[in-house]
Amino acid sequence: MFRRIGNVVVRHPVWTIVAWLIAAVAIVATAPSLPSNSDESSFLPKSYESIKAAELQERAFPSAFTPSAIALYQRTDGGRLTAADRKDVARITSELGGKHIDQVQKVVPGQPSKDGKYAMTLVQMDSKNAGQPKQVDAAKELRKDVKDLAKGTHLDVKLGGSAAQALDQEDSSKRGQALIGIGTFVIILVTLLIIFRAPILAVLPLLLIGLVSAIANGLIAYATKLFDLQANSSISSILIVVLFGVGTDYFLFLMFRYRERLRAGDEPKQAMVNAVDRVGEAIASAAGAVIIAFLALVLSTLGFLKQMGPALAIAVGATLIAGLTLIPAVVSLIGPKVFWPSKSWQKEPENARFAALGRGVQRRPALTAVLSGLVLVVLSLGTLGFNATFDLASGSMPKTKESMVVQDEMQQAYSAGAAAPTDVYLSSTDGKPLDKAAFGAYAQKLGAVEGVANARMAQVNKAGTTADFTVTLKYEASTDKAIDAVGQVRDVAHSAAPDGTEALVGGMSSIFKDIDSAVNHDYRTVFPVAALLIMVILGLLLRSVVAPWYLIASVGLGFGATLGATVWIFQEGQGHSGLMFMLPVIMYLFVVAIGTDYNILMIARLREEAREGREPREAAGMALRHAGPTVAAAGFILAATFATMMLAGNALLTEMGFAVSFGIAVAAFVMAMFFTPSLTALIGHAAWWPGHGDQAKPTASGAGTGPSGASGGDGRDSVTHDPAGRRG
């Protein structure tokens, strides 16, 4: 199949390129916009208690005031507010309401702080458009207007709240994407220049993957709208890295093989056909593993991860198709001039360093397996200290952003839990009015829960069938203590509910509690499903039942080592209270899926060496010698591109950038180079049962150079070839 694809695109390169350009223009011109949403509650399904509580609030208290934006005032000298200052706050609040800004429903004064240094203006917006572009624009206008109205006073005013957080997150995301994009471009450009010493080859993948990126983003926007998925601005930053990192990997696999076929004496166009034929299975298998792992996120209960899975799968799918069609078409048009001005493509490298490493694995596979495995196990011990944090908004932007400053100042000026109180909704189950005489005792029981600052009955709906009890926690909503406390509030709220009533607990801490439960559900479902599907791909590729087990086990160890190192660096080293809650799921999928790519390349090359009649240990040594250079190059580029996410300046992408880049480095330089080949050498022929894929095959007379004499750039090389490039 891959030979047929290669023949078609090499025979019709211009039409292939034109087809891609037409597709790019059509998709980009018609694709819908991809709005961002930082509202954690939108990521949970309706079956969770916090979401049921939110829906009940909308029905029972449709006019309830829930601020989407908060203007926080303090004196410029940091002192207590004077009577004149309080008059200015009242005037600004009144004039702000009189502007009738789109999406703004109410503007009312808030409570002053106990120390008299802070005052607030609370702004309610249409809850149906939370996190959407309309409210982001409204927050931008509000921030400008409130600052203009405060000019000439002694007041310093800042705008916070969910709408302002969405605005700041969007701004932070654009800056982060720019830094990540520039960093990714520079790393790929410089690394490819060092590897190939050819400017055309260094620039070409950036241009081609840029085209693929535009198409992939358009397709993702279509899918998001079609299937009504949640969107988050962090996905755009991740997509940049996935597209350019994985795309460059596939470009490298193809170009190493193309160069090898030219060295073997193939005519340039035939060399590209043979390259697609030989490397196509490796690229397709590697991409298939990544796509399936990402699609496993569809099983997640969190909307953010549900959207991320298909988005990343679409990106990798588009990159795969480009790797088999667009890149071969463009390179076949340019021909060997693509390597200009370097002459190194004409001669075979010795790969002395990798040959030495290969001899080490060949002579001492048991020692290599033990040492490399020990490194992974020791790093994995750090997972025991893992702790999750749930504040997605603050994790998605720097603490210096205005809305984050407001959040921190409010926690200091008011009760830590006052900024996001917990609500307990008590409703009658028979439709009859509630017994108000029981409210006092019920509120008292809620207030007695450990971690609760106070509890009071706030309001009853018009029918008298639902009462809202406001419970203020002693802790900030996203902290572990608040989440534990709200769990106890739920227990008491349910057990102490009078006969004929039921209770639902809502609020941000309740949402975070449910997110915690949802993530734990994902650990039990997404992880094993992704591992099982990747094992199926490995089994089909290698025609083996044995090899997939220890390959996926080695990648699992790589995941443990990655999470452990991330915990040690960010929690122990930098003092973070925890890692972002979805990080282990994302890390697992990236490390397992992409780590499997490098295992596929190495183990497939080892199989080819074994088919030449070599014993398992010798085959492992030769595989490392010939596949090592490309695994090292691809691993370095991909790890470095993911590391650019640390430039974004927010906790989520910094943690994710380090974790995934470290995991890929472990996958390439520990697992694929040492752990996997040494284990395969120790297991021997049994690794290929029942397919016996390592058995030597008869070769055609007068065959060309076999694997031991080839550069083996992509790790999936050849058995022997005849001059036309057919398999021997």
Assign 3-class secondary structure to 261-272.
Answer: HHHCCCCHHHHH
- Three-state DSSP at 693 gives coil
Number of other CB atoms surrounding residue 368 within 10 Å? 24
At 395-432, the pLDDT tens digits run 667 778 888 888 888 877 776 666 678 999 999 998 88
pLDDT digits (tens, 9 = 90+) for 591-638: 777 777 788 888 878 887 888 888 889 989 988 888 888 888 888 888
CA distance 585 to 578: 15
**Kindly report the CA angle at 497 between 495 and 503, in degrees rounded to 5?**
95
At residue 167, the pLDDT reads: 84
End-to-end Cα separation, the chain, in angstroms: 17
Report the pLDDT value the prediction gives residue 234, as an integer from 0 to 100.
56
Residue 515 near residue 582 (C-beta atoms within 8 A): no
pLDDT score for 394: 60
Helix (H) or strand (E) holding 711: none
List residues bridging with 435 in a β-sheet.
none
Rg (CA), the chain: 30
Paired tokens of 196: 């190939």
Integer Cα distance of 101 and 137 in angstroms: 10
Residues counted in the chain: 728
Go through 318-329 and write b for each residue having 16 or more CB atoms within 10 A of its CB, e for each that does not. Answer: bbbebbbbbbbb
Q: What's the pLDDT score for residue 700?
A: 41
pLDDT digits (tens, 9 = 90+) for 298-335: 888 877 777 778 888 898 999 999 999 999 999 999 98
Question: Which pTM does this prediction carry?
Answer: 0.75
Q: Residue 705: its pLDDT value, please?
A: 38
Report the distance separating Cα 43 and Cα 231, nearest Å: 9
Which stretches of 547-588 are assigned E, i.e. beta strand?
A: 579-580
Query: Which element (helix H / strand E) includes 79?
Result: none
Residue type, 453: A
Flag residues of the chain having pLDDT under 70.
33-43, 63-65, 127-131, 173, 176, 228-237, 346, 348-351, 391-396, 415-419, 649, 691-728
What are the CB-based long-range contacts (under 8 Å, 24+) for 432-438? 432/465, 432/500, 433/463, 433/464, 433/465, 434/460, 434/464, 434/465, 434/466, 434/467, 434/501, 435/498, 436/460, 436/464, 438/498
pLDDT of residue 45: 78
The mean of the pLDDT values for the chain is 83
Kindly state the helix (H) or strand (E) to which residue 121 belongs, with its residue range: strand 119-125
Rounded to 5 degrees, what angle do the CA atoms 499, 503, 509 make? 155
Reference 380, options 563, 531, 553, 552; nearest CA is: 563
> How high is the pLDDT of residue 433?
92
Beta-carbon count within 10 A of 353 CB = 12
Tokens of 674: 């040492």
Quote the pLDDT of residue 34. Answer: 60
pLDDT score for 712? 40
Peptide bond into 690 cis (omega under 30): yes
Sequence-distant (≥ 6) Cβ neighbours of residue 101 within 8 angstroms: 138, 141, 142, 145
